[in-house]
């Protein structure tokens, strides 16, 4: 007698129904970034190698300054508009006639503020001009991210995914074209500006096609309301920008441009890996915001998101710890000591990625449900700790101090997230799942250590075997259950059969 198929509980079936399409959106976004981001990182490493550590280190500090000020210029309007649009479609017609010119005015102010701060920090002449051009490119990128919030709130995740990588694709093509002609810093900066401007103009056209022409009618009362509502988000954006970027600027100002370049080379790979988080988490931000007032749905999203966010990064972090030197093959003009220094920075910073992989989604839940203020104060404390440690340790330990301080601050804010979530949102933490994920990472590291110590395999084969080992651990520890996979396949088969 055939065994009857196990019945799927109605709540579980409803859960799979809600997230199936969302999971497909996430997969498409991640695939696009996997196709583009690693190529860009490799190419930027080549650019750093061609320009030299000294010149590129100063450019990195200039870019960092512009990025930090760009975070201020947004004043939280991007996150606010995404959250409000996700909750009410009428927000677009009611507020965007004011938001569009307001956001443009903030961008122009950002450009002037960036140049002024650069002058105060001692940049003059040539470097002040480079700073102005770099800030202009970031201005276009920031406005593009603001407009992409419209697509995210409208759940047009696939269109948003294409736009999220378009600027990088254009920049890849432009820089590859410049390499045979003799790459210069001026050409590199110009390519960044051109790619950002083209992407912004294209997105303007798409917004007009999807939603019609927006007639600009700036109203002071609406602008004031938007700014007051967005200030908590603005503060969070500022402190996150400072927390993640200030190390490179302080290294160049306190130690040397060369130390800043070592840190930048390592952080570039960290930034590429973190792009997975910054691509996936905004999707959860929009979903959490749409589920405001429905803690049960937010609970399901959090427990689902914990695995989506964490599991892929476990393998990446372990690769950085055991095979980090492979990532710096582009530096043909660097000494073994310089490559070793960059590898050490990478390994410490990848532990920072591990902490974010476990706990960054809690920050997304908090900020999407109107709990920005405690998060902002938490990250402010982290900045104060980071800056203090930088002044204390950077002059002696250079780039390694910057990496270690970043890791300590990530631990600090993550402990705060874990404490805040159940108290402010009423959503329970997936403690058992966190434990299983921690065990999976420990088992992965143990297996990789054995491979590295006893097998003597090429790095690519070693990595493939480690990935298979992680997959086995994920199922053995119950991070992903076979029943869940069967349920998804059964629903897919049922849908195909009508």
What is the DSSP code string of 49-83?
A: HHH-HHHHHHHHHHHHHHHHHHHHHHTTHHHHHHH
Across the chain, which has 498 residues, the per-10-residue mean pLDDT values are 42 50 58 71 86 88 84 71 67 70 80 88 89 89 78 68 79 88 89 90 81 70 72 66 76 90 90 82 76 75 85 94 91 89 95 93 82 80 90 92 92 91 82 92 95 90 95 89 62 54
Nearest to 411 by CA among 486, 478, 359, 370: 359
Nearest to 30 by CA among 254, 357, 272: 272
Q: Is residue 483 part of a domain?
A: no
For the chain, what is the domain count? 1
Q: DSSP labels for 30-55?
A: HHHHHHHHHHHHHHHHHHHHHH-HHH
> What b/e readout covers 214-233, taking b as 16+ CB neighbours within 10 angstroms?
eeeeeeeebbeebbeebbbb
Q: Please answer whether residues 115 and 132 qualify as being in contact, where contact means their C-beta atoms are separated by less than 8 angstroms.
A: yes
Kindly report the number of other CB atoms within 10 A of residue 292's CB atom.
15
CA distance to 51, 335, 345, 353, 386, per residue, from 341 (Å):
19, 10, 6, 19, 21
As a whole number of angstroms, the distance between CA 231 and CA 106 comes to: 13
As a whole number of angstroms, the distance between CA 29 and CA 156 comes to: 11
Q: Angle 423-22-496 (CA atoms, 0-180°, nearest 5)?
A: 140
CA distance to 24, 159, 183, per residue, from 19 (Å):
8, 18, 46
pLDDT score at 153: 65
Nearest to 130 by CA among 184, 89, 182, 211: 184
Q: Is residue 104 part of a domain?
A: yes
Q: Is residue 218 part of a domain?
A: yes
pLDDT score at 398: 92
Q: Is residue 467 part of a domain?
A: no
CA dihedral 264, 267, 272, 276 (to 10 degrees): -150
Kindly report the number of other CB atoms within 10 A of residue 195's CB atom.
23
Q: Is residue 458 part of a domain?
A: no
Q: Please answer whether residues 264 and 403 qualify as being in contact, where contact means their C-beta atoms are separated by less than 8 angstroms.
A: no
pLDDT score at 164: 73
As a whole number of angstroms, the distance between CA 247 and CA 451 comes to: 35
Q: Is residue 65 part of a domain?
A: yes
As a whole number of angstroms, the distance between CA 247 and CA 279 comes to: 23
Q: Angle 112-117-118 (CA atoms, 0-180°, nearest 5)?
A: 100
Q: Is residue 451 part of a domain?
A: no
Q: Which domain does 216 fall in, by range?
A: 10-429
As a whole number of angstroms, the distance between CA 390 and CA 253 comes to: 11
Q: Is residue 391 part of a domain?
A: yes
């Amino acid at each position: 007698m055939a065994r009857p198929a196990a019945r799927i509980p109605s709540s579980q079936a409803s859960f799979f129904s809600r997230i199936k399409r969302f999971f497909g959106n996430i997969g498409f976004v991640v695939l696009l970034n996997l196709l583009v981001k690693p190529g860009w990182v490799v190419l930027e490493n080549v650019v750093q190698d061609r320009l030299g550590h000294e010149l590129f280190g100063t450019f990195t500090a200039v870019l960092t300054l512009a990025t930090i000020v760009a975070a201020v210029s947004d004043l939280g309007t991007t996150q606010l508009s995404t959250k409000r649009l996700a909750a009410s479609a009428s927000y677009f017609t009611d507020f965007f006639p004011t938001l569009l010119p307001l956001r443009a005015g903030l961008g122009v102010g950002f450009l002037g503020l960036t140049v002024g701060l650069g002058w105060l920090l001692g940049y003059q002449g040539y470097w002040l001009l480079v700073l102005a051009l770099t800030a202009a490119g970031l201005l276009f990128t920031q406005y593009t991210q603001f407009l992409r919030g419209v697509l995210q709130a409208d759940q047009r995740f696939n269109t948003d995914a294409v736009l999220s990588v378009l600027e990088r694709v254009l920049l890849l093509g432009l820089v590859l074209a410049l390499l045979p002609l003799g790459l210069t810093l001026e050409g590199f900066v110009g390519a960044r500006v051109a790619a950002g401007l083209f992407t912004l103009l294209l997105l303007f056209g798409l917004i007009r096609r999807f939603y019609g022409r927006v007639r600009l009618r700036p109203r002071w009362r609406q602008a004031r309301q938007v700014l007051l509502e967005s200030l908590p988000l603005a503060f969070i954006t500022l402190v996150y920008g400072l927390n993640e970027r200030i190390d490179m600027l302080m290294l160049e100002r306190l130690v040397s441009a060369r130390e800043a370049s070592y840190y930048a080379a390592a952080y570039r790979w960290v930034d590429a890996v973190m792009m997975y988080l910054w691509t996936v988490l905004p999707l959860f931000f929009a979903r959490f915001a749409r589920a405001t007032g429905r803690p049960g749905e937010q609970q399901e999203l959090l427990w689902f998101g914990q695995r989506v966010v964490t599991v892929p990064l476990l393998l990446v972090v372990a690769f950085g710890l055991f095979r980090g030197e492979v990532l710096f093959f582009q530096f043909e003009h660097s000494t073994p000591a310089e490559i070793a220094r960059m590898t050490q920075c990478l390994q410490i910073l990848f532990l920072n990625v591990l902490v974010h992989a476990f706990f960054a989604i809690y920050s997304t839940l908090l900020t999407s449900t109107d709990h920005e203020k405690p998060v902002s104060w938490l990250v402010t404390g982290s900045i104060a700790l980071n800056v203090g440690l930088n002044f204390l340790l950077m002059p002696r330990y250079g780039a390694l101090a910057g990496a270690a301080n970043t890791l300590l601050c990530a631990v600090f804010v993550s402990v705060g997230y874990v404490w805040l979530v159940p108290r402010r949102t009423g959503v329970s933490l997936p403690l058992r799942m966190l434990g299983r994920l921690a065990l999976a990472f420990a088992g992965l590291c143990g297996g990789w250590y054995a491979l590295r110590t006893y097998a003597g395999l090429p790095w690519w084969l070693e990595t493939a075997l480690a990935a298979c080992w992680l997959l086995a651990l994920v199922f053995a520890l119950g991070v992903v259950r076979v029943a869940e996979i069967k349920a998804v396949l059964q629903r897919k088969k049922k849908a195909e059969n009508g």
